Chain A
Amino acid sequence: EPEVTQTPSHQVTQMGQEVILRCVPISNHLYFYWYRQILGQKVEFLVSFYNNEISEKSEIFDDQFSVERPDGSNFTLKIRSTKLEDSAMYFCASSDRAGAYNEQFFGPGTRLTVL
């Protein structure tokens, strides 16, 4: 069964460094998402992406964040200058349709630790 993959599974970085989290969505999917989950807290929406542009973003997704689909398979989340509070599990998700049947398939996540 096709699945969303994410790399790396765990990323440790120093505060102020740039990180890129990578996702390979399911191949025929068109809608892409990033969510994050700080340890012990709820899953939070960051951004949605469709047709090579951001569809919607949350307040969390400020100028330090960017997303890109550099080729036909990868979907990346970049954090330019990491802060301690960026430490979280980051989940990528994808879907093949909009509307009511917008079932989002989530990847296993990347645990980001900022020291």
Chain B
Amino acid sequence: DAKTTQPPSMDCAEGRAANLPCNHSTISGNEYVYWYRQIHSQGPQYIIHGLKNNETNKMASLIITEDRKSSTLILPHATLRDTAVYYCIVRVVSNQGGKLIFGQGTELSVKP
């Protein structure tokens, strides 16, 4: 699975958009980009995933660059409850379910 690079921490004002970057310059054509988050001491939570098109769901938007070497997770209106560690994970999908390889992630602090 390709390696990802994320900033260790970011701050965001409550109500503003949080834009979390991820570099995955060695991504290969069959690897997907996944985002999970972990609110303090809880189990990780799936947010969104994509291959090459931009994706949006109830939680967030995922913007993947055309060359797929980087992506940005956007939380459009961050709340205090969005304070968490956000993980960008690149992996090949597997018909046996597949493992998640977590890095250090970005610790997002949403401030009032």
Contact = CB atoms under 8 A, between A and B. Distances in A.
Contact of B103 (A42, A55, A58, A95): A42
Interface string B24-57: 0000000010000010011111100101000000
Across the A-B interface, give the 3 residue pairs with the lowest CB-CB distance, nearest first. Answer: A106-B43, A31-B97, A43-B102
Task: Place the interface of chain A in its size category.
Answer: 20 to 34
B38 A105 contact: no
B49 A33 contact: no
Interface of B: 32, 38, 41-46, 49, 51, 87, 93-105
A42 B102 contact: yes
Contacts of B105: 42
Interface string A27-45: 0000101010000001111
Contact of A106 (B45, B51, B96): B45
A87 to B, nearest CB: 15
Nearest to A111: B41
Contact of A98 (B43, B49, B98): B98
Given A91-B43, A91-B44, A106-B43, A98 B95 contact: yes
Nearest to A47: B99
Given A91-B44, A109-B43, A104 B49 contact: no
A98 B96 contact: yes
Interface string A54-69: 0110100000000000
B22 to A, nearest CB: 15
Nearest to B48: A103
Nearest to B50: A100
Contact of B44 (A43, A58, A98): A43
Given A98-B96, A103-B49, 12 more contacts: A31-B96, A33-B97, A43-B87, A43-B102, A44-B102, A45-B102, A48-B97, A56-B96, A91-B43, A98-B97, A100-B49, A106-B44
